[in-house]
Structure 1
Amino acid sequence: MKELKEYKIEIFGLSNSTHDFNFTFSDEFFTHFENSLVSKGKGTCDVILTKTDAMITLNMTINGTIELECDRSLELFDFPIEVKKEIIYKYGDEEKELSEDVFVIPHGAQEINISTFLYESISLEVPMKKLHPKFEDDSEDDEMIYISDASETKAEESTDPRWEALKKLK
């Protein structure tokens, strides 16, 4: 995964207060990530950055659509996404990840790049079962269609005469 320049936030010169940033993503954004689950999509990412002396908090709100392929019909359709995510950066001696949403950055850090978080947040919205909206009202029973074979009906109609003789004994 690459970090993209247009998704950098310069934190060095920011005052200790709240700041708003707006980013957009399109089909080109997903081409920078190898083996991506999503290849096309568009939307916006609004970031509210709160900076203090001890840490930086990013509240990200992602809205948009991604293009998915239906598992049932193989048709392409736009899947709406809406994600709210909070990321916390604490100041420390060296850069490390404490958890999936908490990071330590050096005291003299100049910038934060949100491209990886944006990509991961969008990718996590891809459902396990991708169904076109036209199939939302269908029940699970409709998926199993039984087609009877003509040879089976003939086998039921023409029984072995020996079985008929045994049935008469009853």
Structure 2
Amino acid sequence: MKELKAFKIEIFGLSNSTHDFSFTFNDDLFAHFENSLVSKGKGACDVILTKTDAMITLNLTIKGSIELECDRSLELFDFPISVNKEIVYKYGDEEKELSEDVFVILKGEQEINIASFLYESISLEVPMKKLHPKFQDEPDSDGMIYISETDKESQEESTDPRWEALKKLK
């Protein structure tokens, strides 16, 4: 994966205080990641960076929409997303990931690229069951197939009479 230069934050010259950054994303962000769940989308990401001598904290606020394909009708629709995420960078001797939101970076690090965090945060917003908004008002059958009363009656009528004789033996 190539790094996206549009999502780099130069941290080397920043003072120890709070800084605001704004980024916009579009289809180009998703094109850089292979086998992406999302191929189209657009929106904005506001970043509040708090820098201290020991660590850097990023608060990401992502708002936008992504294009999904409905599982029921195969129609494309825009799905709204809204994400708030915090990422912590601590200074250390070697780069490593302590948890999914806490990282260790070298003291002399020049820049941070938030493209992968932005992509992951958006991808995690994709629902398991992607339904077009026009299907949202319909009652959910919990994955079961709907059978009307007339279907049940015709199913009972088509029961083999030999089974009825076996049921009588019980």
Correspondence for 2:66: 66
1:58 & 1:155 partners in 2: Cα distance? Answer: 65
> Cα 1:16–1:74, aligned 2, differ >3 Å: closer, same or farther?
same
Maintained 8 Å contact 1:68/1:77: yes
Name the Cα RMSD after superposition: 2.5
1:154 & 1:103 partners in 2: Cα distance? Answer: 66
Maintained 8 Å contact 1:2/1:116: no
Identity across aligned pairs (percent)? 76
Is 1:144 the counterpart of 2:152? The answer is no
Q: How big is the shift at 1:27?
A: 1.1
Q: Which runs of 5+ in 2 are unaligned?
A: 166-170
2:155 & 2:118 partners in 1: Cα distance? Answer: 56
Q: Which runs of 5+ in 1 are unaligned?
A: 164-170
TM-score, normalising length: structure 2: 0.85
Question: For 1:119, what is the secondary structure of its paired residue?
Answer: helix
Write out aligned runs for 1:15-164 (5 A).
Answer: 15-141=15-141, 144-146=145-147, 148=151, 155=158
Kindly tell me the number of residue pairs found equivalent between the two proteins: 161
Instruction: Kindly provide the amino acid, as one letter, of the partner of residue 121 in structure 1.
Output: S
Correspondence for 1:168: none
Question: For 1:99, what is the secondary structure of its paired residue?
Answer: coil
2:57 & 2:123 partners in 1: Cα distance? Answer: 22
Question: For 2:141, what is the secondary structure of its paired residue?
Answer: helix
> Cα 1:127–1:155, aligned 2, differ >3 Å: closer, same or farther?
closer
2:84 & 2:145 partners in 1: Cα distance? Answer: 37
Higher mean C-alpha deviation, range 26-35 or range 36-45: 26-35
2:51 & 2:158 partners in 1: Cα distance? Answer: 78
> Cα 1:141–1:94, aligned 2, differ >3 Å: closer, same or farther?
closer
Question: For 1:137, what is the secondary structure of its paired residue?
Answer: coil
TM-score, normalising length: structure 1: 0.85
Q: How big is the shift at 1:130?
A: 0.5
Q: How big is the shift at 1:43?
A: 0.1
Question: For 2:39, what is the secondary structure of its paired residue?
Answer: coil
Q: Deviations over 1:102-155 (max 9, x none)?
A: 00000100000000000000000000010111111111239734484xx96985
1:83 & 1:26 partners in 2: Cα distance? Answer: 16
> Cα 1:92–1:144, aligned 2, differ >3 Å: closer, same or farther?
same
2:158 & 2:93 partners in 1: Cα distance? Answer: 80
2:6 & 2:40 partners in 1: Cα distance? Answer: 18
